Amino acid sequence: MVNFQYKENYGLDDLLAIMALLRSENGCPWDKVQTHQSIRRDLLEEAYETADAIDTGDVENLREELGDLLLQVVFHARIEQERGGFDFDGVCDGICKKLIRRHPHVFGKLELDTPEQVLTTWDEVKRQEKDQKSVSQSMDSVAKALPALWRAEKVQKKARKAGFDWPDWHGARDKLSEELAELDQAIAAGSRIEEELGDLLAAAVNLARLLDVDPERALNGSTDRFVRRYGRMEQLAGERGQALERLPLDSQEELWQQAKSEEQDRA
């Protein structure tokens, strides 16, 4: 049993102390053997669960998920502290200094009146901090661990700021057709299929960006609709005394169209 003071309410210092206890010699056998790499996926999962709580509007769940996400930050900071690197105060110090540097209109004398000006200044200061002397260096700095659709969108936005972009969505729409034709050619030739498919997806992201649509959200919405409609297909098949997976494809397609039509009628 570790020496710990129980309270009715806890704060950040308590969280740091609990993590130190869990990582101590007499702490938790699982917690004390974890590394940055072993809990990397946990960090990503907690971030997505937090985003899901935001999307559903569940405030109580959001409070819980923010706590889980904060735990991951504290966990990584503790691991690094034990290795002789930074600690949690170092994390806080770094982000505070970054916020001060990147808000010269608040902490300095620069005058900015619009959110667009603020974002432009933020990017300029960021490039100076990271010694990025070219647009391509800025593009290469976009995290490769991001979902592929978001990473493509962020890179395309950087190209737009440099002036390399379609004036409106029409050019992006034409490019999508062009990339689809090139994919058809690659499939026919049996070569470069992955490359051309990637170009097609990038073109779709570009069109989404110019239509002011979040591509990740759009694809997740499409997946949600697929799941709902498939569930309705199973229900319709069951009402006929049939198992959906045993039906021929044309019968499954008929049920799909019915499920889709019903959903659109309710919209």
Amino acid at 150: W
Q: pLDDT, tens digit, for every residue of 171-193?
A: 999 999 999 999 999 999 999 99
| Cα 217 → chain centroid | 10
**1-5, 29-33, 257-261: the lowest-pLDDT one:** 1-5
Q: Report the chain's mean pLDDT, rounded to a whole number.
A: 95
Question: Which amino acid is it at 211?
Answer: L
1 has a pLDDT exceeding 70: no
- Over the stretch 59-77, which tens digit does the pLDDT of each residue have? 999 999 999 999 999 999 9
Per-residue model confidence (pLDDT) at position 121: 93
How is 233-246 classified by DSSP, letter by letter? HHHHHHHTT--GGG
Is the predicted pLDDT of residue 18 greater than 80, yes or no? yes
CA pair distance 39, 37, nearest whole angstrom: 6
Question: Does 2 have pLDDT greater than 90?
Answer: no
pLDDT for position 5: 87
The pLDDT of residue 267: 76
- Which tens digits make up the pLDDT trace of 228-240? 999 999 999 999 9
φ and ψ of 150, to 5 deg: -65, -40
Alpha-carbon gap, residue 245 to 132, rounded angstroms: 54
pLDDT in tens, 154-176: 999 999 999 999 999 999 999 99
Q: What are phi and psi of 131, to 5 degrees?
A: 55, 45
What is the reported pLDDT for 4? Answer: 82
Rounded Cα–Cα distance for residues 116 and 166 (Å): 19
Nearest to 184 by CA among 174, 176, 222, 219: 176
pLDDT-based confidence at residue 3 (cuts at 50, 70, 90): confident
Token pair listed for 82: 């034990």
Instruction: Work out the pLDDT band at 55, boundaries 50, 70, 90.
Output: very high
- In the chain, % of residues over pLDDT 90: 95
Task: Report pLDDT for 113.
Answer: 93
| % of the chain at pLDDT higher than 70 | 99
Q: Can you tell me whether residue 230 is helix, strand or coil?
A: helix
pLDDT of 128 reads 93
